[in-house]
Amino acid sequence: MSHPQFAAELLQRAEKQGPITIGLAGAGQMGTDIVVQVALMPGMRIGAISEVRPQAAIDAALLAGHDRSDIVQAPNAPAIDRAIEGGKIAVTEDLHALAAAGRIDVIIDATGNPNVGTLFALEVMKNGKHIVMLNVEADITIGRFLKEEARKAGVVYTGAAGDEPACTLEIIGFARSLGFNIVAAGKGKNNPLKFDAVPADYEKEAAERNMNARMLVEFVDGSKTAIEMVAIANATGLVPDVPGMHGPTATLEELASVLCPREDGGVLHRKGVVDYSIGKGVAPGVFCIIETKHPRVLERMIDLKVGKGPYFTIFRPYHLTSLEVPLSAARAVVYKRADMEPLDHPVAEAVAVAKTSLGTGQSLGMIGENDYRGFAMTWEDARAKGALPVKAGDFLTYENCVPDDSMVITQIRRRLDQSDGRFVTNAA
């Protein structure tokens, strides 16, 4: 959460050192939002955009209000630096050039690809730059490795403000700093929940919403929710209470009386969990269920109409996705602080569960397609799962599936698993 004077701090910094200069990888939907938002913010600028479709980057800069004459093509790092020195925005097709450009303070990865994002993040950090990743999938897979690489390089590795995990961490941090106990934390799920959803059934709705059907299914089948809750777990130590979480149909008013221990009328087996609700009034917000033992604080919370007690809901009714991301970039530069980073040890895992029966030799598609969905569970439970014939509803495991070892993210994750999940510094 930004300090109330953060805007003034950014302006003061810009007067002394020039604006914070951001390099952006990817100018899709999220990247375009970032280019537009940065143009509206004090003390910040987009210095360069790397995009395999240069016209998309040019269009984003034009939409943000930049003149066409201020947008220049830059094939390499020196050309990017010259453009920035001249007050222009560089557009390059080369991620390596973006990582190496000396006039860039911080880089935002909006490529949307976990493997590409991993390779890029490692190169960015080796070049001494902070990295903000809109890439929760990479974070839950090898985030603790990336955090360690950032530490060794003396830079910040952070998840992005605006997405539900970082927004939830804001209110968890607020509650913890006041000494409240965290009972549960999570999000409201935006889309209807249908575990066996496949893209073919959502082409029409996706077209109406101007989005990719696979991406829509990633939300509908619960995969994205599982991934996001695992990211929160790995950053806080909160755990999925049961495999797959509860996901109750609890309204905003009911949250504190549902996501609480069973002995108090709720559904939880323990306190300190991540979960989500599909009840009315929660999405698109994030929440934290808290408790206090002190009668004076309990009395005041009830008096302030936070709730009836003994559990209370702290609620943020919005998350602004890509529009908030530049704040993470600014805080990395100004405060040398991450908005979201994993703990040094794994807490939860987003595993794959088959949506349909899968045959021997079958190549699995992407998340949000026909083969599997994401499913959240504790790291210990995930490690304990053995191999089974892969029928619908079965877990996909290292015993019944072969990962693609050509990808660096797979290679790094295998090393993490061999070290029993805990990052060993000399394993790098």
pLDDT tens for each residue of 30-68: 999 999 999 999 999 999 999 999 999 999 999 999 999
In the predicted model, is pLDDT for residue 391 greater than 80? no
In the predicted model, is pLDDT for residue 212 greater than 90? no
Between the alpha carbon of residue 80 and those of residues 18, 45, 195, 283, 393, the distances in Å are: 17, 14, 46, 41, 50
Identify the band that residue 396 occupies on the pLDDT scale cut at 50, 70 and 90: confident
Instruction: Write the pLDDT tens digit of every residue in 118-153.
Output: 999 999 999 999 999 999 989 999 999 999 999 999
Cα atoms in the 13 Å half-sphere on the side-chain side of 68: 2
Structure tokens at 38: 């940065």
Average pLDDT value for the chain: 92
Structure tokens at 377: 């569970």
Between the alpha carbon of residue 366 and those of residues 79, 113, 133, 221, 409, the distances in Å are: 36, 11, 20, 13, 15
Residue 221 phi, psi (nearest 5): -80, 5
Closest CA relative to residue 14, chosen from 87, 90, 70? 87
Q: Helices 223-236 and 164-177 sit at what angle, rounded to 10 degrees?
A: 30
Dist CA 24 CA 326 (whole Å): 10
Identify the band that residue 210 occupies on the pLDDT scale cut at 50, 70 and 90: confident
Dist CA 88 CA 106 (whole Å): 17
Instruction: Write the pLDDT tens digit of every residue in 284-301.
Output: 999 999 999 899 999 999
| DSSP 8-class letter at 192 | P
Q: What percent of the chain has pLDDT over 90?
A: 76
Identify the band that residue 229 occupies on the pLDDT scale cut at 50, 70 and 90: very high
H helix intervals, 246-324: 255-258, 295-303
Burial class for 214, CB neighbours closer than 10 Å (0-12, 13-18, 19+): middle
In angstroms, how far is CA 289 from the centroid of its own chain?
A: 21
Q: Which long-range contacts (CB under 8 A, 24 or more apart) does 400-408 make?
A: 401/352, 401/364, 407/115, 408/115, 408/118, 408/119, 408/122
Identify the band that residue 422 occupies on the pLDDT scale cut at 50, 70 and 90: low
- Mean pLDDT, residues 337-362: 90
Identify the band that residue 424 occupies on the pLDDT scale cut at 50, 70 and 90: very low
Helix (H) / strand (E) containing 375:
strand 372-378
pLDDT at 427: 35
- Mean pLDDT, residues 391-416: 83
Q: Are 184 and 274 in contact (CB under 8 A)?
A: yes
- Other CB atoms within a 10 A radius of the CB of residue 409 amount to 21
Per DSSP, which regions of 106-198 are E strands?
106-109, 130-133, 157-159, 181-188
Q: Are 309 and 302 in contact (CB under 8 A)?
A: yes
- Mean pLDDT, residues 152-174: 97
For 219-245, b where at least 16 C-beta lie within 10 A, e where not — what string? bbbbbbbbbbbbbbbbbbebbbbbebb
Dist CA 158 CA 265 (whole Å): 38
- Mean pLDDT, residues 153-172: 97
- Other CB atoms within a 10 A radius of the CB of residue 139 amount to 30
Identify the band that residue 357 occupies on the pLDDT scale cut at 50, 70 and 90: confident
Structure tokens at 273: 């969990």
The model carries a pTM of: 0.92
DSSP assignment of 45-60:
EEEEEE-SSHHHHHHH
In the predicted model, is pLDDT for residue 114 greater than 50? yes
Dist CA 117 CA 200 (whole Å): 28
Place of tokens 């699995």: 364
In the predicted model, is pLDDT for residue 239 greater than 60? yes
Alpha-carbon Rg for the chain in angstroms: 22
In the predicted model, is pLDDT for residue 315 greater than 50? yes
In the predicted model, is pLDDT for residue 3 greater than 80? no
